[in-house]
Structure 1
C-alpha cells in the first residue's frame, strides 16, 4: 500500500463529521496519503489519485438550478472519465438515485420479494408527484394499502429540509402536504431505531431513539411536525420518543437477516458506503426497512477508520488484479422530476 493516494471530495461539514484529519493521520501510519480535494480548483494538479471517496450530494442537488454547481459536477466527471484507473467510491449514478426518495423507495419495495425468507419487509408507500385534489390523494392512499398514521417525507433526500417530516393521522389532514413527497405507513416499533452502517463487506448496527407507538387507524389527532435528525440523535429525549406505557423489550435484529439485507442492497445499489434504517414491528417482530442513506456519519462505529481503510485496500487490490479499465465520456442527464444525475463508466 506504499505511496497510495486517496482523495476525499467532501463538504466542509462532512469532513468535520467524519474527522477527516484524524483519518488522514491514521492512514499515514499505513502508507496511505489522504488528500482533501478542492472542487473549486482544477483536479489534475491535485492528483493523481488511486481512489476518490466522494459525497457530492450538495453539488448534485444544487446543480438542479445553479450553473456554477453544474460546472463543478461536470469538471469532476470529466476528471474521473479521463482517469479510468481511479476508483470512485461510490459511483455517481448509484449515489444519485438515493437522493431521490421515489427511486430509493422503489429499491426498498423490491426487498419484500427478494428477502421474503428472511422476514424482511418495507411499509407500503405512495409517491405524490404534484399538487392534486384531496379526494384523489385519499383514494390513492386506500388503493395502495396505506394505513394511518402516515409519515410524510420530502422527495429530495438531502439537506436540512429532507429531515423535516410529519406524522399524519387522518384523511382530511392530507390536504396540508406539499408535493413532491412520499407517504409511508407508520409502523409501531417501540421507539427504537436500528441504524445499520455499511462499509464494504462489513456492517455495524447502532441503536437510536425513535418515534413512540401510536394507535393504528385514523383519528382526529393534529398532524405532528418533527425533524428526524433531532429525534434520532443518540442523546435525543422528547415527548415524541417517550413510550406512553411500559412494553416488553423487542428482540434485536437478527444478525443473519441484517447480513442478508446488506448483501442484497450492495448488489441493488452498487455501493459500498451507505446506511440503512430498520425497525422491528412490535406485533410481528418483522425486520422493516424504512430508509437508505448515502455515506452516513457513522457515529457510534468505533471501527470505522480501520474498516474504511480495509475496504480501500481491497478495492485497490481488485483494481490492480483487473488491470486498466475503460470509461466512457461523462454525461449529465436529467432524471424525471428528480435531481440531476451524473454518469461515469465506473
Structure 2
C-alpha cells in the first residue's frame, strides 16, 4: 500500500459522461503521485463541506443550458456560484461567463469574426426569419453550399448538422440556428486542443469538397462526431500558435478546442468552431499537460492568495474577483 502526502487539493465538477471520457480515476492516480489530491464535487451537496479547494476544474455546460428552463439546475448553478463568490482564493478553470458565452454559437462566431478568419455566417433566430433569408444571404456574402448548425454549442444535438445546397433546401432548417458558408478544405479537419499555454493538433477526416454555388442536391444531414473521428496527429504552422494566443486572450479561457480547416483555394487557416473543455482524444501527454497547467495557476496565485480554510476570511479581500477568472 502507498501513502500519499497531498500539498494541494483540486475539485473536479463534471458530468458522468465527461468524467468517463476524461478517465478521472486514472488522472487522480497520476496526480496523487505528484502530491495533488483530486476530489469529485457533488453539486447536489453543499460545496462548503466538500472543500477546501485550491482550484476547481469544471464543465458545467449541461447545468448552464438546463438552467434556462429547469429550476433544479438553476439552484445547482446558484449554489456553485455562491461558493465561488464566498471563496475567492479558489482558482476556477474556466470562468463561468466565458463558458456561457461559448455555449451560444451566435456569440462565439462574433468573437471569431474579430481578426480571426472564419466563414461568413448568418443567425436565424426563429421561423419568422425564413421568408427574408435568401435576400439576407446575398447581403451577408454567404454562398451555397451552407452548413447549418444548432445555436446551442453543447450536447448531442449540437453535433447534428446539415449541408444545404440550394434555396429550396432552406426549408430543412430548424431555428434557432446558424448558417455558415461551406469551405472546401480537402476533407481534412484540424482539431486544436488547448491546455493552458500548450496546444496540440490532431488531424481528422472531414467532409469532402463540393462545387461552389447552388445545385439540385438534396440536403445532407450528418453528425459531426461521426464524420470527424480520431485518426492521426499532425503539426501545423506557427499560425496555429498565434491563433491560440489570441483566442486565449479573447475568450479568457485555458481549456478549449478549436476546429480549424485550411481553405484549399486560398490556403488560409479558417476557424469553424470553438469547443468548451473538449475530450482531448488523441492528445499525447494530456494528463501531464493538465496537471502542469493547474500547478502553474496555483504557483502564480500562492503569493497573492492564502489557501482557503473553508471559511470566508477578511484576508481574501486582496484576491478580489480572481475566482471569476483564470490565470492565462
Distance 1:345 1:178 in 2: 35
Normalization by structure 1: what TM-score?
0.86
- What are the ranges of 5 or more consecutive residues in structure 2 without an aligned counterpart? 306-315
The Cα of 1:320 is off from its aligned counterpart by: 1.2
Structure 1 match to 2:292: 310
Distance 2:60 2:278 in 1: 13
Superposition pairs for residues 136-147 of structure 1, below 5 Å? Answer: 136-147=132-143
State yes or no: 1:6 paired with 2:2: no
Superposition pairs for residues 253-268 of structure 1, below 5 Å? Answer: 254-268=236-250
The Cα of 1:87 is off from its aligned counterpart by: 0.2
| 1:272–1:89 Cα change, 3 Å | same
Distance 1:111 1:196 in 2: 18
Q: Deviations over 1:91-137 (max 9, x none)?
A: 1001111100000000011133xxxxxxxx11000011111254400
State yes or no: 1:132 paired with 2:128: yes
Q: Deviations over 1:288-316 (max 9, x none)?
A: 10000000000001211000000001100
Matched residue count: 309
Residues 100 and 155 in structure 1, CA contact (< 8 A), matched pair in contact too = yes
State yes or no: 1:292 paired with 2:270: no
Residues 153 and 164 in structure 1, CA contact (< 8 A), matched pair in contact too = yes
The Cα of 1:169 is off from its aligned counterpart by: 0.2
* Paired residue secondary structure (1:206): strand
Picking from 255, 264, 283, the partner of 1:273 is 255
Picking from 11, 25, 31, the partner of 1:27 is 31
Distance 1:92 1:194 in 2: 27
Structure 1: which 4+ aligned runs deviate by more than 2 Å?
132-135, 252-255, 321-324, 343-346
Distance 2:54 2:18 in 1: 21
The Cα of 1:217 is off from its aligned counterpart by: 0.3
The Cα of 1:233 is off from its aligned counterpart by: 1.2
Superposition pairs for residues 151-170 of structure 1, below 5 Å? Answer: 151-170=147-166
| 1:132–1:58 Cα change, 3 Å | same
* Paired residue secondary structure (2:270): strand
Residues 148 and 185 in structure 1, CA contact (< 8 A), matched pair in contact too = yes
Residues 203 and 231 in structure 2, CA contact (< 8 A), matched pair in contact too = no
The Cα of 1:24 is off from its aligned counterpart by: 0.2
Structure 2 match to 1:107: 111
Distance 1:41 1:2 in 2: 24
The Cα of 1:171 is off from its aligned counterpart by: 1.2
Distance 1:235 1:276 in 2: 17
Residues 51 and 88 in structure 1, CA contact (< 8 A), matched pair in contact too = yes
Residues 7 and 51 in structure 1, CA contact (< 8 A), matched pair in contact too = yes
State yes or no: 1:227 paired with 2:223: yes
Distance 2:237 2:200 in 1: 10
| 1:205–1:254 Cα change, 3 Å | closer
Residues 41 and 47 in structure 2, CA contact (< 8 A), matched pair in contact too = yes
Residues 54 and 90 in structure 1, CA contact (< 8 A), matched pair in contact too = yes
Residues 24 and 34 in structure 1, CA contact (< 8 A), matched pair in contact too = yes
- What are the ranges of 5 or more consecutive residues in structure 1 without an aligned counterpart? 113-120, 237-251, 329-342
Residues 253 and 287 in structure 1, CA contact (< 8 A), matched pair in contact too = no
The Cα of 1:254 is off from its aligned counterpart by: 4.2
Distance 1:177 1:183 in 2: 9
